[in-house]
Amino acid sequence: MKPNILDVWRTFKFYGYRRIAAYSQQTDGPKVSEYMTLKLMRELGIKSRMQKRYRKPKTVVTVDQKPNLLTIDP
């Protein structure tokens, strides 16, 4: 099973354990569950090479906040 996982990982370096497990289900090789794929990837010391997704920066307010308009004068 390890050589099959290594072959898939060498071909698709960005695949994680879930995709490798799904790929093994679709091909003619041995069927490997997600958990077993994760364990074998840890043993082999391989990881997915995904880039972090771009996160849009949050809106920043540049205007000072208005004071509370509902003030009660004594």
For 6-62, the pLDDT digits (tens) are: 888 888 888 888 888 998 888 887 888 888 888 988 998 888 887 678 888 888 877
Determine the distance from the C-alpha atom of residue 73 to the mean position of all C-alpha atoms in its chain, rounded to a whole number.
Answer: 56
Domain boundaries, the chain: 2-44
Q: What local confidence, expressed as pLDDT, does residue 72 receive?
A: 65
| Contacts of 8-14 spanning 24+ positions with Cβ under 8 A | 9/41, 9/46, 13/48, 13/49, 14/48, 14/49, 14/50
Decide: helix, strand or coil at residue 37.
helix
CA–CA distance, 23 with 18 (Å, rounded to integer): 9
Computed on alpha carbons and rounded to an integer, the radius of gyration of the chain in Å comes to 25
